[in-house]
Amino acid sequence: MANFIGTRLADLLRGAPGDDLLKGLGGNDTLLGHDGNDTLEGGDAHDLLRGGRGNDSLFGGWGADTLTGGEDDDLLDGGAGHDSLDGGIGDDTLRGDGPGGIHGNDTLSGGEGEDVLYGGRGDDLLQGDAGDDQLYGDGGHDTLLGGDGNDLLLGGAGHDVLRGGLGDDAIEGGWGNDTITGGDGYDRIAGGRGDDLIEGGNDDDFLLGDASLDIVGGSTDDVTREKLGEGNDTLRGGEGNDDLHGMYGNDLLEGGNDDDLLVGWDGNDTLLGGDGDDEMDGDIPTDSSFGEHKGDDLLRGGAGEDTLWGGVGRDTLFGGVDADEFEFISAAESRPGNQRDIIGDFEVGIDKLTFDDDEYDPEIPAWTTLEWAGTTATANGVWIVVQDGNTLVRADADGDTTHDFEVEIRGVTNLSEDDFLFYL
């Protein structure tokens, strides 16, 4: 190994073929590695380091440094200061900040290959470019751009901007109010803590408002979800058959085109299905192991044959055009009086009111048996009462002929048995 050592001045150091060590020391130095597995250390001041061919290790040190890896698999460490790192061709590892707690606002570009980028502290720009890359923002208000390939993006602390680009990406915002866009491909996105804006983009996406991704081995194929934090999030599915889960907080979910699943979870949520045959759930059953979830939700189906389920809380439901189903699986979902749900656009002969005995919560009595009772209060019956130009649909779940369930159908006075479905 040949050693090339600079001075306290601005030096130009050129390596030779083979594995070289180049140390700039003080001054604004230029270090050129040549062929071989070289180690370049900039030292103090603002340095330019180029590795060339081979598996090189570049350390910027103090100052605003520019590091270029070149071909093959390189390690680039910016160190202290506002640094610019370009991995070039190969599977590279880029670190914006070195050890010691000194940080800067760094720019990291992976280039071609499967790269791993660590922004560190500071407001950093990370670009994966081509290949299946891993981008970790860490502290600061970072911008992470995955580029082509199946990428993993983790924003970390701060208000981050994350864009997956082409490919099937796994993205987590982390702490802060993040803006996340999946791009083309099947993306799995979790906002993390904070009030996040999440857009799936094209293709079929899976969006979680307040959650984290459990990454195993840094692979986008090894992703599970767990609850985390609370925020008022906005989730937009875009094109494709998307799954949107608001989780905790008062969330806005927009399905977009195609056949989407929208689940509000906890909080007072607004669910907009958009075009396509959508399923919208204001809450989610407590047997999901995520605890109790309820809220006063607004659900709008839009175009397509939609299934709307408000869950516990006083909900307002609009099916939109086409034949929609309004589903109820427990009397606890819509209590009489000022706790009842409201259906705003029920179309007689087209839409359906559905009573289903799906498992909900062992502490909340589910439907056991129900039958159509016309306009007469009946034990374990479902009957209607026309009042002020609206219809109240009532049901008795415990067999005492007194209604413990009620939903208001606005602007409808001519419901019949044909408008109901019973799956009990």
pLDDT digits (tens, 9 = 90+) for 140-179: 999 999 999 999 999 999 999 999 999 999 999 999 999 9
CA–CA separation, 117 and 78 (whole Å) = 11
Token pair belonging to 206: 């899976």
Q: Which of 240, 231, 316, 214 is nearest to 265 (CA)?
A: 231
pLDDT cut 90: percent of the chain above it: 74
State residue 98's pLDDT score: 74
**What's the alpha-carbon Rg for the chain, to the nearest Å?**
29
Question: Is residue 391 very low, low, confident or very high in pLDDT (cuts 50, 70, 90)?
Answer: very high
What CA–CA distance (Å, rounded) separates 189 from 10?
Answer: 47
Q: Is the dihedral of CA 179, 169, 277, 333 positive or negative?
A: negative
Are 306 and 325 spatial neighbours (Cβ–Cβ below 8 Å)? yes
- Mean pLDDT, range 22-42, rounded to an integer: 95
Residue 220 in this model has a pLDDT that exceeds 70 = no
**pLDDT-based confidence at 399, cuts 50/70/90?**
very high
Choose between 177 and 359: higher pLDDT. Answer: 177
Distance of CA 423 to the CA centre of its chain: 34
More confident residue, 316 or 283: 316
State both tokens at 89.
């061709």
Determine contact, residues 148/133, Cβ cutoff 8 Å.
Answer: no
**pLDDT per residue over 171-211, tens digit each?**
999 999 999 999 999 999 999 889 999 999 988 999 988 77
Share of the chain above pLDDT 70, in %: 91
Confidence of residue 265 (pLDDT cuts 50, 70, 90): confident
pLDDT of residue 404: 94
DSSP class of 158: S
Single pTM value for the model: 0.86
pLDDT of residue 214: 62
